[in-house]
A and B are shown apart, each in its own frame.
Chain A
Amino acid sequence: MNKVTLRVKVAQYSEIEPRIGQTIQVMDRKIALFKVTNGKVYAIDNRSPHPKGGVLSEGLVSGEYVFCPVYDWKISLVDGKVQAPDEGQVKTYKVEIEGDDIFVVLE
C-alpha cells in the first residue's frame, strides 16, 4: 500500500483569532482549524462523531477542547477523543507552523 502525504498551507497564523473555529476545505476534505488561547493550533475533521453528524467549526472553544455546537459533546482538540459520558473520536491532523504560515498534513 502506498500512503500519500499531503502538506498544505491553509491559513496565516496572524490572521486567525483564538477561539473562533475556521472552516477549511481541501478538495473534498472538510477540516475545522482552531487556534486556542495558549496560541497552539489544532486541526480536526469538521464533522461531529455524533451519529447525526453536524459541523464542529462553530463550537465553543474552552482550553484545548471544543464543544460540538449541535449536540454539545465535548471533544479534545489534541487527540480528537470525545469526553465521557459520550464516546467517539474525531480524526485529527498534524499542524505545522512555519513563520506565519500554518500547514496541515493530510495522509
Chain B
Amino acid sequence: MSKKRLVMIGNGMAGIRTIEEILKLGPEMFEITIFGSEPHPNYNRIQLSTVLQGDAEVSDIILNDWNWYEENKITLYTGETIVKVDTKNQRVISNEGRITPYDELIFATGSSSLMLPLPGVDKKGVTGFRDIQDTETMMEAARQYKKAVVIGGGLLGLEAARGLLNLGMKVDVVHLVGHLMERQLDPIAGEMLKQELENQGMNFLLEKKTTEIFGDERVRGLRFTDGTEVEADLVVMAIGIVPNALLASESGVRVNRGIVVNDLMQTSIPHVYAVGECAEHREVTYGLVAPLYEQAKVLAEKVCHRKVLPYEGSVTGAQLKVAGVDLFSAGEITEDATSTVIRFHNEYAGVYKKVILRDNQIVGIVMYGDTKESTRLFRLMTLKEDISNLTDMELLQPIGAEGTHSINDMPDDEMVCGCNGVSKGDIVSAIHEHSLHSVEEVKGCTNAGRSCGRCKPIIADILEHTLGEEFDSSEQKVAMCGCTPLSHDEVVDEIKEKGLTTIKETMNVLAWQNEEGCTKCRPALNYYLGMVHPEYKDDRNSRLVNEKMHANIQKDGTYSVVPRMYGGVTTAQDLIRIGQVAEKYHIPLVKMTGGQRIALMGVKKEDLTAVWKELDMPSGYAYGKTLRTVKTCVGSTFCRFGTQDSMGLGQELERMFERLDTPHKVKMSVSACPRNCSESGIKDVGVVGIDGGWEIYVGGNGGTDLRAGDLLYTVKTKEELLEITRAFLQYYRETGHYLERTSKWVERFGLDHIKEVLENEAKRVELNARLSRTLERYEEPWSKILEDDTAQNNYYGKREVLTT
C-alpha cells in the first residue's frame, strides 16, 4: 500500500509540533509535504523577543533545522505560500503555481500582527512584531535611528519596547487603556509594572489613541486624537493578532474568527484540519503555545488513527519575558459580586499577589514581584481543586519553609513546563529512564524548556533532587576560577548564546572580575572559543608556557623537544638526523619517552628554532592539550598473533588528529590482538584488533588516577572505527570541561549517554562534520614559526646587553 499524502500549510510552531507527534506515532505512515511562507525552517517565535533584546541570534532559536526535515523525509517548500485550496479535488496550489495533491490537509497558518488601518500605516518604518523579518527590520532601524514608538502596552508591545531599549533607542509606549497589560493585570499590578519599566527607561503615553502616522516616505511621528504628536523613526504595532484564516474561508472551510474546528481538530470539510493560532475551538483562539501543543497532540492521534482524547480547551497563564519583571497571570483578573479575593500587597518589597475564588475554587491569579507560587496555584486552578481547607496564607505562601518551594512537596502531576505540558513526573521518569544529567538533556528528551525557557531553573532543581548524590553540583555550580562566578558550562553557553568571539569580549560581556583573567580562565576561554568557532584566531599569549613555546619547559628554564614519530615508527634517516642535531647543539639528554618516541631534553630557548629547523620534523606536541601519541604494536605486519595492521591504523589516526585542540591531552593506541602490547586499556581511545574487526575502548587513563577504559563499540571496518572515534572525540571536545581528561568526562556523562549520542546517526554525522571543519584550521607550528621572524623575535629571542 502506498503511503498517504499529508500536506501542511504553515511551517510554524504548532504545525511542526503536530508533525513531530505524528512521526512519533507513525514514522512511516505519511508522505509529508510542508509549505511555509517564511524562508526559514521552524524556529522558536517566542524567542524573537530574546533575539531583539540581543541575547540570542536567529541561528540559536531554530527548533528544527534543515537536516531534521531531510532526515524525516519531509518535502519542505520555504518562501512559498499556498494561495488556493481545492478541497473537491484535494489539492493545494502555491504562489509559484505548484500543485500538490493531498489525502489529509492541515492548516497551521498561525496569525498575523493586527495592523490598525490608520493613515500612513504603509510608510517605511512601520512594522508589526511577528516574525524574523519584523525583528530584523527593528534591529536595522535601531542601527540608523534613535526614536521608536510602540503602539500597544500588552505582552508583545512591552517585549518589543524592552528590546528596542537594549538596542539603544529611546522608546515611547502608547496604550489605549489607563494601565498596562490590562488583559492580564489589574490596575495595581499594572501600575507596579509601569514603575519598573519606567525605571528601565521606557516612557508611557497612556490613554492615547492614535489617529495618524505621518512622515514622508518614512515615518516621522504619530498624531493622537487629543491633537498631540510624538516623534518616531520607527513604529511597532503590537495591539493584537489576527488568525490567518482567509485562505481557508476562500476555500469554503467554515471560518468565524479563526478556522472553526471540533474537539478532534477537524474543520467543516472532511480530511481538512486546523491547528494552532489559526484554529478556533469552542469559540476561542489561542495565542500561547501551551494550548497549541495540546491541540497538536490530539490532531496527531486523530490522523494516525490512534485512540484520541478529545481536546476540550485550555486554561492559559501568561508571563512577560522582560528582565527585572516577574509576573504571572491566569484566568479572571478582576473580582465581581460572585467572587471573593485574597490579596497580599507589600509595597515596600514590590510584591503583589491576588487570588480570586468562586465556590471554593481558584478562578483567577495575578502575581507581581514574586511568582514562585504560580505553578502550584495554577495547578490548583486548572484541576479545579477545592481549596476550602487551605488558609489564606497557605494559598499565598508555600507550605513549610517560607519562600522555598521544595521539589519534595511537588506532586508528580504538577506542571513544570507550561509551554510543553511536561509535569514533574514526566521529567523524573525521563531522568531515570535515560540517565539524564543536565537541563539540556532533559530538554532533548521531554521537550520541557524548549519554548520560553522559563521553567529551566525548576528543571535544574528536579535534576538535583532526583539524582541526589549522583548529581554533581560541583559540575553545575563551581566557578571557572576566581575571575567569574560562572561555571565552565555556563561560560560556554554564554559564548554560544551571545555569539562571543574573542577572550576580551567574553570577559567584558560576562563582567570578568580581573580584567585580563588568570592562568585558569584564559587558556580555558581560548579553548572554548576555538571549540565553538572553527574560524577562531588562537590567542597564543593566553596559552601556558609549553603550548605558547611549542616546547616543554624544564626546571632550569631549558626545553625539551619531541618530534613526531607517527605510530612510534621511525626511519634510519630520521634517527641519524636526531643524532646529528643532538651532537651539534650539545643536547644533554636523548631519551625514549613513554610515548614511543624520542625526546631531546635540555635545549636552550635560543636554540629551539635552529633545532627545529635542522630536525625538519613536525612537532610531536608532547606539550599540548591535544593528541599526544598513538602507540602501536607491531601487529599483523610481523607478529604471529597479529590480526590487524595496528601500525598502519595508528599512523593514520595520529595523522588525522595531530594538533587538534582538546579539553585535555588525548592519548591513543592500537594493539593488533587482545594481548594488548600497546596498552590500549589505559588510553583515552584504545583500539584492540580482533579477528574480523576492532574493539574501541574509551576513557582509559594511566596517570594519576588509574582507570581502565570502557568498551565503547566493536566494529567491523576501519571506516566505522574512524567515524565513531571522530564523533567520540568531537563530542568530548564540545562537552568536556577544560582540563578534564576523557576518564573523568566519561564518568561524568556515563557511557550509556555517550553511546546514545553516537548511535544517533544524525548526531554522529554532524559531529564528524564539525570535526572536519575544525581540523582544517591547523598548521604545523614549528615550520610556521620558522617562517615568521616576528614570532621568532618575540618568543625565542634573547637580548644580551654588553657593557663596559
Chain A interface residues toward B at CB < 8 A: 6, 8-11, 15-17, 19-20, 22-27, 37, 52-55, 58-63, 67, 69-70, 72, 74
Contact = CB atoms under 8 A, between A and B. Distances in A.
Main secondary structure of the interface of B (DSSP, over half): mixed
Contacts of A59: 545
A63 B516 contact: yes
Contacts of B793: 15
B560 to A, nearest CB: 14
Contacts of A16: 794
23 contacts: A8-B801, A11-B799, A17-B794, A23-B605, A23-B799, A25-B800, A26-B803, A54-B557, A58-B545, A58-B548, A58-B553, A60-B522, A60-B541, A60-B542, A60-B544, A61-B541, A62-B514, A62-B517, A62-B518, A62-B522, A63-B515, A70-B553, A74-B518
Interface in B775-804: 793-795, 797-803
Contact of A24 (B545, B794, B799): B799
Nearest to A36: B516
Interface residues of B, number: 29
A54 B545 CA distance: 12
For the complex of A and B, list the 6 residue pairs with the smallest distance between their C-beta atoms, beginning with the closest. A69-B545, A62-B516, A55-B557, A19-B541, A58-B545, A67-B519
Contact of A60 (B519, B553, B794): B519
Nearest to B606: A23
Contacts of A6: 803
A9 B793 CA distance: 17
A53 B605 CA distance: 17
B520 to A, nearest CB: 9
B640 interface: no
Nearest to A69: B545
A54 B554 CA distance: 8
Contacts of A69: 544-545, 553
B270 to A, nearest CB: 71
A23 B803 contact: no
A26 B801 contact: yes
B525 to A, nearest CB: 12
B588 to A, nearest CB: 18
B794 A20 contact: yes
B37 to A, nearest CB: 50
B584 interface: no
A25 B794 contact: no
A82 B345 CA distance: 54
B555 interface: yes
A42 to B, nearest CB: 14
A15 B792 CA distance: 12
Contacts of A61: 516, 541
A9 B515 CA distance: 31
Contacts of B557: 54-55
Contacts of B514: 62-63
Most buried by B among A10, A69, A72: A69
Contacts of A11: 799
B549 interface: yes
A44 B523 CA distance: 24
A37 B507 CA distance: 15
Interface string B511-547: 0001111110011000000000000000001101100
B618 to A, nearest CB: 22
B188 to A, nearest CB: 50
A58 B519 CA distance: 12
